[in-house]
């Protein structure tokens, strides 16, 4: 029978082993980490769109803040797309194979998103809450349509 002190290192390591075993997502092992980079780019976009959405939902439209957030979104809107190379369809991606199987459709969705963000910038410049509301909804619809087709 093992001595209690001999079991101590095993007992101390057990929680860490369980956490690793329960991790639902494998690490991004690609040297350039494109999956991580595109995920981070999408999160950067959310850091702009979520406050805009909250501002409109709460009926606390601040034209200057909204314009600043729209500018931030425009500054990062091209970032994720360059990280969808041919060799980037591996775990932990949440992209569907359709990204690579239907590149023209994926490009069409990307273009729709860019156009929607252009309309958002124009609405922000107009300083109109109604225009901002409509333009942000178009951006969100563009994101949702792409997610429906290309994200798990």
- Please enumerate, by residue number, every residue annotated as part of a binding site for heme c: 143, 146-147
**Closest Cα partner for 114 from 65, 93, 106?**
106
141/137 Cα distance (integer angstroms): 6
118/112 Cα distance (integer angstroms): 10
Helices (H) and strands (E) in the chain, counts: 6, 0
Task: Indicate the annotated binding residues.
Answer: 143, 146-147
In this structure, is the dihedral angle defined by the CA atoms of residues 4, 6, 8 and 10, taken in order, positive or negative?
A: negative
Length of the chain: 152
123/139 Cα distance (integer angstroms): 12
């Amino acid at each position: 029978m093992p001595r209690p002190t001999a079991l101590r290192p095993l007992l101390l390591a057990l929680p860490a082993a369980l956490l690793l075993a329960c991790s639902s997502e494998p690490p991004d092992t690609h040297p350039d980490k494109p999956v991580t980079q595109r995920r981070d780019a999408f999160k950067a976009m959310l850091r702009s769109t979520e406050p805009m959405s909250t501002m409109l939902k709460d009926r606390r439209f601040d034209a200057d803040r909204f314009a600043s957030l729209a500018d931030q979104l425009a500054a990062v809107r091209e970032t994720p797309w360059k990280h969808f190379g041919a060799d980037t369809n591996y775990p932990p991606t949440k992209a569907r194979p359709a990204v690579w199987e239907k590149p023209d459709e994926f490009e069409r969705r990307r273009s729709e998103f860019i156009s929607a963000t252009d309309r958002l910038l124009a609405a922000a410049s107009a300083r109109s809450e109604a225009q901002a509301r409509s333009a942000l909804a178009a951006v969100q619809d563009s994101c949702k349509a792409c997610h429906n087709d290309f994200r798990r």
